[in-house]
Amino acid sequence: MRLLIIGVGALGGVIGARLLARGVPVAFAARDASSAAALVSAGLQVTGVGEEVATGVSEVRALAGWSRAAFDLVVLATKADDALAVASHGVELLAPGGALLPIQNGAVAQVLARRHPGVILGGLSNLGATMLAPGRYQQRNAGHILIGELAGGVTERAARMASFLGTGIETRTTPNMSGAIWSKLLLNCTVTTLGAVAGTTMRGYIASPEGRALFDRTYDETLAVASASGVRPERMLVDPIPPADRDAWIEQILSAYGDLQPSMHQDFERRRPTEIEFINGYVARQGVELGVPAPLNAAIADTVRAISRGEMTPSLENLRRILRG
Ligand SMILES: NC(=O)c1ccc[n+]([C@@H]2O[C@H](COP(=O)([O-])OP(=O)(O)OC[C@H]3O[C@@H](n4cnc5c(N)ncnc54)[C@H](OP(=O)(O)O)[C@@H]3O)[C@@H](O)[C@H]2O)c1
């Protein structure tokens, strides 16, 4: 089995280093030749949760340097915009019967599956990681990679890819991959994006009545779009369908994610593109397509775009303004 990982950042670095450390050959595509050379000289090192590993790495090139259709699995481990930009090249590098596995947050796999039918395997990461420097990665939790067919069921290829990745990193399959992606979207659209827009964590905004109201209404709106699209969100951390009395359910979400700083904060600070078009922006567009209006998701996505353009700043006031409509 030949594996190429495109994007040697936090997730790509941890996954690749752990496989290499188990003796599994891994090829990497870095952004350009100089970042590839830097990785070859630094090697890959993983600290934090789990076994610490340090390994040399030789098969790293800029993506343009890979041209042979020789890979059985190409893992797309860039941010969402870059994933869309490089996916066609990734597909060209697949050997017959190979699969492209996007692991971004949001609906990247669904968007790519429309462009490249048949070769996209759904994926997501419950594993948290940070890149400390090129070649230096910190694993933040004992999470896993989840993969499966977007059309449902567990196929032989999904099981084979999971077993291969599982040599280095915990990898599970699900027969309900689209449901799992939507379950993560439900939390990304609320926990994460609202925290980014408010300039705080979920615990920081949910204590205010407006924060709680916007969380509840955005969650329900997103769930309505998910249901209209025909998926059955899969239980992950909590039951995706909230109970009538939500307080204990919200506490469960808070205990897992309440204090996490949304990575979108860093995107704002570093003036990098956010992944909003694949999170709330995707839900808003799906809502229009399915005739299930999603005005809160649309307003949240607009606010993120305005912050990215430097026209607004993250603050709790943004939540009040979105609620007022
Ligand atoms: N990290 C986590 O804990 C975590 C958890 C769950 C999901 N995710 C999702 O996983 C995805 C990746 O996250 P991440 O944290 O690993 O991001 P990251 O640290 O920014 O890594 C992305 C890497 O891709 C590289 N890249 C960009 N364009 C490229 C190209 N054309 N060719 C080759 N490499 C390219 C980037 O290079 P440059 O540095 O030069 O831009 C960077 O090294 C995101 O969608 C994120 O939402 C992450």
- Residue-level pLDDT at 81: 95
253 and 187 Cβ atoms separated by less than 8 Å = yes
Q: Which residues touch 209 (CB under 8 Å, ≥6 apart)? A: none
The mean of the pLDDT values for the chain is 96
Burial 43-53 (b: 16+ CB within 10 A, else e): ebbbeebbeeb
Task: Read off the pLDDT of residues 6-35 as tens digits, 9 standing for 90 and up.
Answer: 999 999 999 999 999 999 999 999 999 999
pTM greater than 0.85 (yes/no): yes
Task: Read off the pLDDT of residues 256-291 as tens digits, 9 standing for 90 and up.
Answer: 999 999 999 999 999 999 999 999 999 999 999 999
pLDDT exceeds 90 at position 184:
yes
pLDDT exceeds 90 at position 237:
no
Q: Name the band, by pLDDT with cuts 50, 70 and 90, for residue 236.
A: confident
Structure-token match 């970042």, residue found: 35
Taking the CA of residue 272 as reference, the ligand 1 atom at the shortest distance is: 41
Say whether 139 sits in a helix, a strand or coil.
Answer: strand
Domains and CATH numbers, the chain: 3-175 (3.40.50.720), 178-324 (1.10.1040.10)
pLDDT exceeds 90 at position 69:
no
Kindly list the protein residues whose Cβ atom lies closer than 6 A to any atom of ligand 1: 6-12, 29-31, 35, 63, 77-80, 82, 86, 103-105, 125, 128-129, 131, 275
- Count of helices and strands (H, E) across the chain: 14, 12
Q: Name the band, by pLDDT with cuts 50, 70 and 90, for residue 217.
A: very high
Dist. CA 78 → ligand 1 center (Å): 4
Taking the CA of residue 104 as reference, the ligand 1 atom at the shortest distance is: 45
